[in-house]
Amino acid sequence: MSFFTPIRASNALITEATVPKTAVFVGGTDGIGKATLRDLVSKRFPIKVYIVGRNEAGHRALLDELRSLNPQADLIYIQGQISLVADSQRIAKHISAQEDKIDLLFLSAGYLPFTGRQGE
């Protein structure tokens, strides 16, 4: 049995009743976060997704693609650098002012450099 078999079986159980209604993706603009976001939105269920990234203009093509995959999806881009405490607090306040709860929090931002931190 493939490692992915149980994962695919679980994903197949997602229905309009079980899909998260409100999701937050931090790091959903590249890599595994982007792939997961694309897969979730492509289920074509009504969903509201906050996507946190550093550069909205650089991710406009992704947002356009997601909107074409699911016109029912409410996609809200929030620009910010999650590794900065002030940005993290601003993002959290923005989302909590709009939502009573979130159903899915997907955190996949960043990477671990072997040379240590080089900037702010």
Domain membership flag for residue 88 = yes
Containing domain of residue 92, as a range?
Answer: 27-107
54 within a domain of the structure (yes/no): yes
pTM: 0.84
CB distance 76 to 102 below 8 Å: no
Indicate the DSSP class of residue 31: H
In-domain check, residue 76: yes
Which residues, in sequence order, are CB contacts of 97 under 8 Å at separation 6+?
none
Domain count of the fold of the chain: 1
pLDDT in tens, the chain (120 residues): 788 888 888 888 888 888 889 999 998 788 888 999 999 999 999 999 999 998 888 889 999 999 999 999 999 999 999 889 999 999 999 999 999 999 999 998 876 667 766 666
For residue 56, being part of any structural domain is answered with yes
Q: At what angle do helices 31-41 and 60-69 cross, to 10 degrees?
A: 30
C-alpha 61/C-alpha 30 separation (Å) is 12
